[in-house]
Amino acid sequence: MSIRAMSWAWDQSVDPGKKLILLCLADHADAEGKCWPGTKFVAEKTGFHYSTIRRQIRSLVQSKFIKKEPRFQLDNGGRQTSSIIELNIPPLVHSEPPPPFSIVPPPLVLQIPRPPVPS
């Protein structure tokens, strides 16, 4: 799970069905925002029918919220397996790191008044 992906999914302005699917995908995304859940898996997580998931994913691709790349098994006659889905999360903007700080407080300087010296 990628916290960044989950946060991104929550921030998207889409209808509730698409949002639930985005959250499901984000919950299984790696640090690069990629995941490869099958339709059956997403159906079990969301409670949606397979056709609804396919339709919503097509819509999310068309709206550019996600990218979808088909995958094929090499050892099983080239049969298609779950697609790689990449969430369209904007890249992080790196800025200058904040200056280092010390967690040790500065020392306290106590000024004790001296008694007057008798003359």
Q: Could you tell me which residue, 23 or 115, shows the higher pLDDT?
A: 23
Mean pLDDT across the chain: 88
Is this structure's pTM higher than 0.95?
Answer: no
Going by C-alpha positions, the residue among 41, 14, 16 that lies closest to residue 27 is: 41
- State yes or no: pLDDT of 41 exceeds 80: yes
Looking up tokens 């990628």, which residue turns up? 2
Q: For the segment 75-104, what is each residue's pLDDT rounded down to a tens digit?
A: 767 777 788 999 999 887 777 777 777 677
Q: Is 112 helix (H, G, I), strand (E, B) or coil?
A: coil
Q: Could you tell me which residue, 108 or 21, shows the higher pLDDT?
A: 21
Asked whether the beta carbons of 56 and 25 are under 8 A apart, the reply is no
Q: For the segment 24-33, what is each residue's pLDDT rounded down to a tens digit?
A: 999 999 999 9
Asked whether the beta carbons of 47 and 24 are under 8 A apart, the reply is no
Asked whether the beta carbons of 100 and 86 are under 8 A apart, the reply is no
- State yes or no: pLDDT of 49 exceeds 90: yes
Looking up tokens 């904007």, which residue turns up? 90
CA distance 95 to 97: 6
pLDDT in the model for residue 114: 80
- State yes or no: pLDDT of 56 exceeds 90: yes
Domains of the chain, start order:
3-87 (1.10.10.10)
Asked whether the beta carbons of 36 and 30 are under 8 A apart, the reply is no
pLDDT in the model for residue 107: 75
- Please give the single-letter amino acid code of residue 58: R
